[in-house]
Each structure stands twice: as structure tokens, then as C-alpha cells.
Structure 1
Amino acid sequence: MMLKHDILFQLSETKVVAVIRGNSAEEAVELSKAAVQGGIRAIELTYTTPHVQRVFEALEYEDVLLGAGSVLDPETARHAILAGAKFIVSPSFNEDIAPVCNRYGIPYLPGCMTIREMVKALESGSDIIKLFPATNFDPSFIKSVNGPLPHVRIMPTGGVNLENIQDWLAAGAVAVGIASDLNKAYATDGFDGAVELSRKYMQKTAQ
């Protein structure tokens, strides 16, 4: 059994979370396995993927930290945790999801864009804040937030790519979420293309 501290440590160590949005459970499994083969060790399986529980089951024995994304309510959060999710991500802060995650000792990473939202998330026990969509922000935003809130750890998601990932990490991001790039690579170059792109992301984090 993994403790919350261990999960947070793994997220901060791996640096890259692959956000998997499959048109089918089978596609999501393939995308996830490609990301893992490319070196990514944290996967966020979104609940917009049809029959997402099948994806959790298919990846149960992979050497990867599985989380759930696009979680909109506490019922879905509990379903994901029982399916094996080790962290819960939502596009916005939901005060009803936080207690469920706290009850099971699972990190809750809510999407926030304002200081007010971040403070509410912190007060509800969130250890990492998902800056979403990060396309609306510059990496320097993290420093601006850490001025009044030095203990806030931020994971930008949406708009992170190979060109700016190092800028985000250098600015203080605890990790980054990548999504559309993987889908595009898979659609264009198949499984091998997604593996190669994942490998490039991990190489960027090591530079």
C-alpha cells in the first residue's frame, strides 16, 4: 500500500504526467503503454475515455503510477480510487471531491487559475495544484504565486510541449501534464511515434 507522501514524491520525481484521452479503452491502453515504454512513470487516465475501468485493469501490473483525470464529482473520485487510482485530478476545484481523497489518503490535484481558487484548494488538503489551462500563462506565473504562497506546488497542464517544458520546470513546476502531443503522435506515427515522443519528453527533464 502506497502512502500519500510516497505518491507525491513519485509525482515530483517523474516530472512528467501523461494525460491519456482515448477514443476507446483499447486506444487508451495503447497510448499508456507507449508512454511507459518511452520512460514516463505517471499516467492520468481521464474519465472522458469510454470504459476507463478496463484501462485501469489492463495497466494494473505495469510499473507506473496510475491516476484519474477529468473527475467531476465525489462518486467518480471514489470509483477511480477503488479502480486503483493513486491520485485524482479535476479540471476545477470541487470541495466535495477533496474529503473523499483525504479519506482514502489519495492526493487531489484540482485545476486552478486564481489565487483565490488555490487557497481554497490548499485549505481542503490539496498538496499539488494543477494550473489549467496553462496555455493562458507564462512560466513566470509560478514565481508570482510563490511570492504570497511560497508552499504552493504547481503542475501546469494544457499547452506544455517540448519547446517549453524546461521553462516550466526551471520556473518551479513540480511536474507537468502532457496530453494533446501524445494523441497527435499516436494518430500520425502510431505506437512507435508515441513511444519516441515520450522518450523525448523524459530526455528534456534530464537536461
Structure 2
Amino acid sequence: MIVENGSIVAILRGIDPEYAVAITEKLVENGITMLEVSLSEEEKALGSIRKISSAFQASVYLGAGTVVHTHQVDRVLDAGGKYIITPGWDRDLTRYVQSKRVSVIPGVFTPGEIMQAVQEEVEVVKLFPANVLGVSYVKSLQGPFPNVHIMGVGGVDLNNLKDYYEAGCSSFAIGNDLVPRGATTKDLKNIEEKAKRYVELMQGLRS
């Protein structure tokens, strides 16, 4: 399984590469070792992936999110990324990533899209935006899809993560509430404190 039950994935968005290593250090020190670098600002993201990959190698599981084109997949892998997350469902893009022998976590919104992902032997789907769909929606998915690993993304924070976990989300990718968009070294203390709280929360829920 690409993402273990109870995992927290840190989303890095708009980070200048010069701050990427310091931010990653704080996350790793506090128990978060799975990172998604968003390609919403592509050149910054690729630079950050290169820096993190070089500095941490096997100690972090590093991938890219907001991937919408096949050429981006190639650039991410060349930079050192190990997995791909897409914002929405795209069968052709999913198959392209799989052809590269790397894991893909596609974005899904509807039961139909989850069915298509299952047919492509996808192990983990990204339910996005989770806060729009709501806790009751997640709970309803457990009937037809009891064995699908659902990663909750979008609007999940320390205040509602417990509800989404108990409803059926197995893991979460957290962005701005954990690592502010465009974060710098000025944000390190806040990132450290939030990382600790997220990890402690998940440990409590899993036990």
C-alpha cells in the first residue's frame, strides 16, 4: 500500500526551493515523512523536489500533486519524485503514470470515478474536496467501497479530522493548515507545532 492507514501527508505549495529542505526537516523530525509537492507553481515545485530528494533520499516518501499532464509526470520523476497525485480523475493520465512503474493517487469526486479507479487497480484514491462532500458522504461510500483506501483532502484540519477518519477516510493530505502556502523559515516554528499535533491526533485515533 502506497499510503498506510492513519498517514498524514504534508502538502508543500508555492515553496521556494531554498526553504524546502528546512521545512522538510521540521516535518520529518516530528513524524511526517510523506510529502506532496504541488505543481501549481511548476518550476518552484520541481526545484523543491530536487532539493528534498537530494537531501533526504530514502528517509522521505516524496511525490508531486496537482499533476494534470503526462509531461509533468516525466519531469517529476526526473527530479526525484516517487509518486503522483492528480487533482481529478483522468484514466489516460492514471494509466500513463502506472506505465512508469510508479504509484498514482488519482483525485475522485463521485462513486462512478471511484469505480473507474478500482477497475484500473488503483489502491488509494484522493477524495477532493472532502469538505464540500462532507462527513456523511464519506460514510456513505463505505457501503459500496469498503476496501478502498480513501485519502481525505481539502478542508480537513485538526478540528474535523477525527470525524472524517471515523467516517472512513484512511489517511489525509494537509496543506495550508500544516505548511502555509509559500512558507519560509519564518514559518518553521508553526510547522513544527502543527506537525506534532497532527501526528499525536492520528496516533490517538489509531490506538
TM-score if structure 2 supplies the norm length? 0.86
Work out the CA distance in 2 between the residues paired with 1:79 and 1:73: 10
1:23 positional shift: 4.3
Work out the CA distance in 2 between the residues paired with 1:165 and 1:57: 31
Q: Which amino acid aligns with 2:202?
A: T
1:43 to 35, 58, 75: 35
Matches within 5 A, 1:22-171: 22-49=14-41, 50-60=43-53, 61-62=55-56, 63-171=59-167
Q: Which region of structure 1 is more displaced relative to structure 2, 63-72 or 159-168?
A: 159-168
Work out the CA distance in 1 between the residues paired with 2:186 and 2:78: 34
Matches within 5 A, 1:6-17: 8=2, 11-13=3-5, 15-17=7-9
Q: Determine the structure 1 residue equivalent to 2:195.
A: 198
Work out the CA distance in 1 between the residues paired with 2:49 and 2:4: 22
Structure 1 residues not aligned, in runs of 5+: none
Count the aligned residue pairs.
Answer: 199
User: What SS does structure 2 have at the residue aligned with 1:48?
Assistant: helix
Q: Percent identity?
A: 28
Q: Which has the higher contact order (CA 8 A, sep 6+)?
A: 2
Aligned 8 A contact 2:6 2:170 in 1: no
User: What SS does structure 2 have at the residue aligned with 1:17?
Assistant: strand
User: What SS does structure 1 have at the residue aligned with 2:117?
Assistant: helix
TM-score if structure 1 supplies the norm length? 0.86
Structure 2 residues not aligned, in runs of 5+: none
Offset from partner CA, 1:45-84 (integer Å, 9 cap, x none): 1112333222122212422110110100111112212322
Aligned 8 A contact 1:20 1:32 in 2: no
